[in-house]
Amino acid sequence: AQKITQTQPGMFVQEKEAVTLDCTYDTSDQSYGLFWYKQPSSGEMIFLIYQGSYDEQNATEGRYSLNFQKARKSANLVISASQLGDSAMYFCAMRVRRFSGYALNFGKGTSLLVTP
């Protein structure tokens, strides 16, 4: 079974600082995909970044980067230069096969609060 673990229920960071949100996963598959989503208080799910298991480089998207350590089965999200608008819930997720496509299995999430 595929499992995602996020051990930080809540995190604080000061504006303009960098923050790392932890995510570990468990799977027996050789090919897998990992996602990070942001959910502000409005409830929408905003895709941030994707990392495939065979990707040789760590994924980056603007201020977001994914610290992918395959041997440790970790896929931590790094947010650089935090902004007040980054305050939200952050979910790590793994792709799970459903028929000819994929759904997502989510971790419990980390609540990030950015302070001035």
Partner 1 sequence: SAVISQKPSRDICQRGTSLTIQCQVDSQVTMMFWYRQQPGQSLTLIATANQGSEATYESGFVIDKFPISRPNLTFSTLTVSNMSPEDSSIYLCSVAGGGNEQYFGPGTRLTVT
Per-residue binding letters, 55-94, with partner 1 (x by CB under 8 A): ------------------------------------x---
Q: Residue 50, interface with partner 1 (CB under 8 A)?
A: yes
Task: Please tell me the distance from the alpha carbon of residue 87 to that of residue 3, in angstroms, as a whole number.
Answer: 25
Residue that the structure tokens 């994924």 belong to:
59
115, 14 in Cβ contact below 8 A?
yes
Closest to partner 1 by CB, 15 vs 102, is 102
101 binds partner 1 (CB under 8 A): yes
- Burial zone of 100 (CB within 10 Å; 0-12 exposed, 13-18 middle, 19+ buried): exposed
Quick one: tokens of 16? 């303009």
Contact segment (CB under 8 A) with partner 1 among 22-30, 63-71, 78-86, 95-103 equals: 95-103
Report the nearest approach of partner 1 to the CB of residue 86 (Å): 19
